[in-house]
């Protein structure tokens, strides 16, 4: 998340970040810059929400949040979006390991190598989100009544 987001911000600032001069032209528009900045911020916010699955503020909404602050988080309100997000992220980034097998005519050879390396951590984002969502679920599921053999 962070390495790829920082790369996009570098591009917003006008540096080609591995693209050839001709390949960088589409990223110089105002709309492309807004999109890259928005995508970077949203990615970091989603990553921050994932941390809520392992921190106390994932169990009780922080008091500074209007209307719901101080209330307990219903476990399914955290687990369902996290599980759906984990599935979406896994599907979205599933092709990244094969980055180097695709042609990148709009990038320099060094740029293609660096971008491939920067995006490799995204492969783990979905499965790791699934793991912490499952852990959250296990810690917050209702206790079962009775014992084995009764």
User: Quick one: pLDDT at residue 134?
Assistant: 95
Contact in structure between 84 and 78 (CB atoms under 8 Å): no
CA dist., res. 6 & res. 74, Å (int): 34
Q: Tell me the per-residue pLDDT of 23-61, one tens digit each, with 9 for 90 and over.
A: 999 999 999 999 999 999 999 998 888 898 888 888 888
CA dist., res. 66 & res. 28, Å (int): 38
Q: Tell me the per-residue pLDDT of 73-82, one tens digit each, with 9 for 90 and over.
A: 899 999 999 9
Task: For residue 118, give the 3-state DSSP assignment.
Answer: helix
Task: For residue 113, give the 3-state DSSP assignment.
Answer: helix
Q: What is the mean pLDDT of the chain?
A: 90
């Amino acid at each position: 998340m962070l390495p790829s987001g920082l790369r996009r911000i570098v591009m917003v600032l006008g540096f080609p970040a591995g693209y050839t001069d001709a390949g960088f032209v589409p990223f110089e528009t105002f709309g492309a810059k807004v999109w890259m900045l928005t995508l970077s911020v949203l990615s970091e916010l989603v990553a921050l929400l994932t941390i809520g699955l392992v921190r106390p503020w994932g169990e009780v909404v922080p008091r500074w949040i209007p209307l719901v602050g101080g209330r307990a988080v219903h476990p399914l309100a955290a687990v369902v979006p996290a599980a759906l997000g984990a599935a979406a992220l896994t599907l979205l980034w599933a092709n990244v390991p094969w980055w180097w097998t695709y042609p990148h005519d709009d990038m320099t050879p060094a740029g293609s190598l660096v971008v491939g390396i920067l995006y490799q951590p995204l492969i783990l984002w979905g499965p790791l989100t699934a793991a912490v969502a499952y852990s959250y679920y296990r810690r917050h599921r209702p206790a079962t009544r009775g014992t084995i053999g009764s």
